[in-house]
Amino acid sequence: MNKEQYKSAIANAVVKTDGHKQMDNQYPNDDRLYTITTICYGDYFTSTRCVGVCSSFDRAVEIVETNEGHIWENSYDLVVVEAIVDNAVYGNIIGEDYWWVWEGDDDGKYVAIITPKEFDNTVGWGVG
């Protein structure tokens, strides 16, 4: 990720007015976990950090959309939730991701967006 990709992803974010709906489980014999990763690329501070791992999609969405624990921290304008499977090496990333962008100032909120084209082929935000 570079600064231009980050700024473009925010500037060109396409809001999903109906929010995110959980994708069908492609791996019915595997339990999915959901990583929550916040992303910031600023002039003085650049960071990605996994702020949580949830056992349910609904819980991950709740954390993001309520800004639980103040995960925005006045800096992290993008959030991605990715589904992973446990007990797998290299194959744990399954290509199921959900994105949000921060809208507003201090009293703002995260709003659901489609996957930014700048990060369409980037996976593993929460597991490195």
The per-residue pLDDT for 28 is 64
pLDDT tens-digit profile of 14-68?
Answer: 999 999 998 877 666 667 899 999 999 988 889 999 999 999 999 999 999 999 9
The per-residue pLDDT for 35 is 95
**Sign of CA pseudo-dihedral 70, 6, 97, 116:** positive
Give the pTM.
0.90
**Sign of CA pseudo-dihedral 87, 115, 25, 22:** positive
Q: Please state the domain extents for the chain.
A: 3-119
Indicate whether 84 pLDDT > 80.
yes
